[in-house]
Amino acid sequence: MEKVTAGRDQVGDFAPKFAQLNDDVLFGEVWSREEQLCARDRSIITVTALISSGILDSSLQFHIQYAKNHGVTKEEMAELITHTAFYAGWPKAWAAMRIAKEIYK
């Protein structure tokens, strides 16, 4: 798995501990636990959680791209968002669908 440096890149000078936890613990330790749950499945869970929480910004964009990079197909992403819409809300799904459509074009 590629090393994530988003924390350090974006907020490292402002919040170094937050950046370290994001990059080293969340992505370095949790996401690397491939024996327990593969990155593809973690991506599906993460995208669903972000949509459900209403986090429809660059975080969702990053994780949809991450999901694509880990093998989630366009058809699977569309189905994931469609299914999530009934639990998380239609407007959230519309926003997520626009992001996903751009990433998968």
Q: For residue 3, what pLDDT band results from cuts at 50, 70 and 90?
A: confident
CA distance 70 to 98: 20
What is d(CA 4, CA 94) in angstroms, rounded to the nearest whole number? 28
For 67: left if phi > 0, alpha if psi spans -120 to 50, otherwise beta; the answer is alpha
Share of the chain above pLDDT 70, in %: 99
What pLDDT is stored for residue 2 in this prediction? 74
The overall average pLDDT reported for the chain is 96
Indicate whether 1 pLDDT > 70.
no
pLDDT in tens, 27-77: 999 999 999 999 999 999 999 999 999 999 999 999 999 999 999 999 999
Domain range summary for the chain, segments of one domain joined by +: 1-32, 37-104
The CATH T-level fold of domain 37-104 is AhpD-like (1.20.1290)
> Does residue 25 surpass a pLDDT of 70?
yes
- Residue 27 phi, psi (nearest 5): -85, -35
Residue 104, pLDDT above cutoff 90? yes
